[in-house]
Structure 1
Amino acid sequence: MTEERLPEAAEVARLAQEAVPGVGAADVRPIGEGGDHASWWVGPDHVARCALGFGGSERLRREVALRELIGGRTGVPVPVSVASGDWARGRAFTLDTRLDGVSAERRPVPAAGEADLVRLLVQLAQVPVADAEALGVPPEAPRNMPGLLRRASAAAEAVAARGEFDGAWLPRLRVPGAEAATAPGTLVHNDLKGEHLLVTEDGRIGGVLDWTDAVTGDSAEDVAGLAISVGAVAAVRIATAAGFGPGAYARALQLARCDTLTLLSDRLRGLDDSPLPLLRTQLRRAWEPTALDGPEGA
């Protein structure tokens, strides 16, 4: 087995040299680890990502193939791999184009960016599911809502006891219409966190990053990601413009609210190492009152 380790800057530079002539170790700067891979800036125009394990390698290779399938079809830019292969035996890497913009966690998404996200949701629904699954994108059944609600209700008590949650918000946990049947499966990014949305200076979506968690399944998951990233009110507005019905975005809000409660509860109990300020911000966004909540939740 290959030893568990991070590649060094010189190794990343060697990987990049064929695609980026003249690049050297001094041009390689670490970005950080992202779950099952680590990333580096390579000069001003590229990003290198190296998988840290065999499972992560499979997901990274699948992502490269998926981006080739959907590039030009998503309505927003996605990274393009200019070189890929293995950085160590069985450990995948890709050298990607660097896209314009900064994280949606650092820059708000205005109307122009919302219009881009509408196009993203519309176009993902039009990607043939069979084409995505042929690349190894896994199908995923819709999550069990009653079970999520039970866990979230218990989490709400624990989080409220720590002063991290306003119990008066609890009626918003059950969103009317969220129990409606889910729509047929589509291609789903499945991790539309703010860090994966790049926003340009003029407010456009400059890129959607990290497709390693993509599945075919419940499109409400991507609307739930937007509720966590840009707020419940904006997420409903985007979903409505993308043609989602009330049942779909009601389900999305309920998913987002369950997730933000359980994640914050896990963090407070030491079961997760996500930054507390980020989890608090995501909870506030997902729990914004919307017209779906009615007078009780408003």
Structure 2
Amino acid sequence: MTQEPRPTADTVRALVRSLLGEGGPGPAGGPEVRPVAGAAGHTAWWVGDRHVLRLAPDREAAPRRHREPKLRDLVRPHVPVAVPTSLARGEWAPGLPCTLDTRLPGGSAREHTVSAVGETDLAGLLTGLREVPARQAEALGVPRVAPRSLEALRRAAERAVPRLVAAGEFDPARSARLTAAATAQLAAQPGTAVLVHHALTGDHLAVGADGRVRGVLGWADAVLGDPAEDIAALALAVGSPAAVRAATLAGYGARPCLRGLWLARCDAVLRCAAALSGRTPAPPPAHLADQLRHAWEPILLERVTDLREHADARETDARDADARDADARDAGEAPKP
């Protein structure tokens, strides 16, 4: 197996200078560069204080990195938040593309809490993604992805819950609310595929100190698919109430909102259990705890939806009773209680 090269500060500095020429950002000896915290394999580097260099880590990721600048150009007119602009493109190793992008202002959603006005920014993002023409996205090579089975995810999470309970990380009564009947009601509806960012993590949301969402990063993994996936990602990143409020403002109804909520909850359980079992690298404990806490925050929509379902059931029973009484009267019988 061919070992992929690993970028160093010297190679990144030389690469930036070759992309922009000797007059590029930074001092005459070369721009100041440092790896972005959390970027696996040093595949993202700050260049000065105004740019970021993103590197495809391997050949599997190369097509996505090639596609990303064009996809951002397609998305930009439709969304109310900033999307990075590419200043230069090239290859940092044979067959491995890179882009030098503008750095968006603000910190991450881990650093700043999204405000009520910031939720309207997220609503605008979700609305804009729905408006991106699917044919144009497909022409760029954005793949279509089938919706995940919430029932399969529920069963997997159900098996993982005892591991979290044993570690003192989870109340088993929570997961009992998601039944097989509920997952059937929350199945993805046909014909609802939209452009999905598919990686709306806290690190990919540029949030200002005022709580406004200033921009969105990380478009390489975008797909055409289930909009509930982005609602789920937002639930993990900024909390379930904020994610559902944003989705509701974007025009999504109870079904996709609740589907996104339960996708997030099952994902959080499975990721935490996998980390505890050692099968996958464990994220930082604080990050795990935040995801689990965010996903399982209660939302009003759950209670309202339950009430509506009960009210609908009562109305159906009343209509059935009225119909039986009418049939009885037509037959000359006494109405039944």
- Give the TM-score normalised by structure 1: 0.93
User: Which range is displaced more, 231-240 or 34-43?
Assistant: 34-43
Contact 1:117 1:238 in 2 (8 A): yes
Which structure 2 residues correspond to residues 24-173 of structure 1 after superposition, within 5 A?
24-25=29-30, 27-32=32-37, 34-35=39-40, 38-173=43-178
Please report how far the alpha carbon of residue 136 of structure 1 lies from its aligned counterpart in structure 2 after TM superposition: 0.9
In structure 2, list runs of 5 or more residues that go unmatched. 307-337
In the alignment, the residues of structure 2 paired with residue 41 and residue 16 of structure 1 have an alpha-carbon distance, to the nearest angstrom, of 11
In the alignment, the residues of structure 2 paired with residue 288 and residue 213 of structure 1 have an alpha-carbon distance, to the nearest angstrom, of 27
Please report how far the alpha carbon of residue 133 of structure 1 lies from its aligned counterpart in structure 2 after TM superposition: 1.1
In the alignment, the residues of structure 2 paired with residue 230 and residue 132 of structure 1 have an alpha-carbon distance, to the nearest angstrom, of 27
1:182 to 1:269, Cα distance in 2 relative to 1, 3 A: farther
Please report how far the alpha carbon of residue 237 of structure 1 lies from its aligned counterpart in structure 2 after TM superposition: 0.8
Paired residue for 1:11?
Answer: 11
Which structure 2 residues correspond to residues 206-245 of structure 1 after superposition, within 5 A?
206-245=214-253
In the alignment, the residues of structure 1 paired with residue 146 and residue 188 of structure 2 have an alpha-carbon distance, to the nearest angstrom, of 15
1:73 to 1:180, Cα distance in 2 relative to 1, 3 A: closer
Deviations 1:224-273 (A, max 9, x none): 11111111111111111100011110110110011000000000011222
In the alignment, the residues of structure 1 paired with residue 65 and residue 280 of structure 2 have an alpha-carbon distance, to the nearest angstrom, of 24
Please report how far the alpha carbon of residue 277 of structure 1 lies from its aligned counterpart in structure 2 after TM superposition: 1.9
- Give the TM-score normalised by structure 2: 0.82
Paired amino acid for 1:12: V
Q: CA RMSD in A?
A: 2.1
Contact 1:36 1:56 in 2 (8 A): no
Please report how far the alpha carbon of residue 8 of structure 1 lies from its aligned counterpart in structure 2 after TM superposition: 2.0
User: Which range is displaced more, 258-267 or 268-277?
Assistant: 268-277
Paired residue for 2:194?
Answer: 186
Paired amino acid for 2:122: L
Q: Match for 1:284 among 284, 293, 296?
A: 293
Paired amino acid for 1:15: L
Q: Which has the higher contact order (CA 8 A, sep 6+)?
A: 1
Paired residue for 1:21?
Answer: 24
1:31 to 1:50, Cα distance in 2 relative to 1, 3 A: same
Deviations 1:33-64 (A, max 9, x none): 63576111101100001112101222111112
In the alignment, the residues of structure 2 paired with residue 112 and residue 131 of structure 1 have an alpha-carbon distance, to the nearest angstrom, of 31
In structure 1, list runs of 5 or more residues that go unmatched. none
Paired amino acid for 2:276: L
1:2 to 1:107, Cα distance in 2 relative to 1, 3 A: same
Compare CA radii of gyration and give the structure with the larger one.
2
Please report how far the alpha carbon of residue 202 of structure 1 lies from its aligned counterpart in structure 2 after TM superposition: 2.4
User: Which range is displaced more, 279-288 or 174-183?
Assistant: 174-183
**SS across alignment from 1:103:** coil
Contact 1:37 1:56 in 2 (8 A): no
Contact 2:85 2:102 in 1 (8 A): yes
Contact 1:9 1:25 in 2 (8 A): no
**SS across alignment from 2:44:** strand
1:182 to 1:277, Cα distance in 2 relative to 1, 3 A: farther
Structure with the higher strand share, 1 or 2 = 1
1:258 to 1:216, Cα distance in 2 relative to 1, 3 A: same
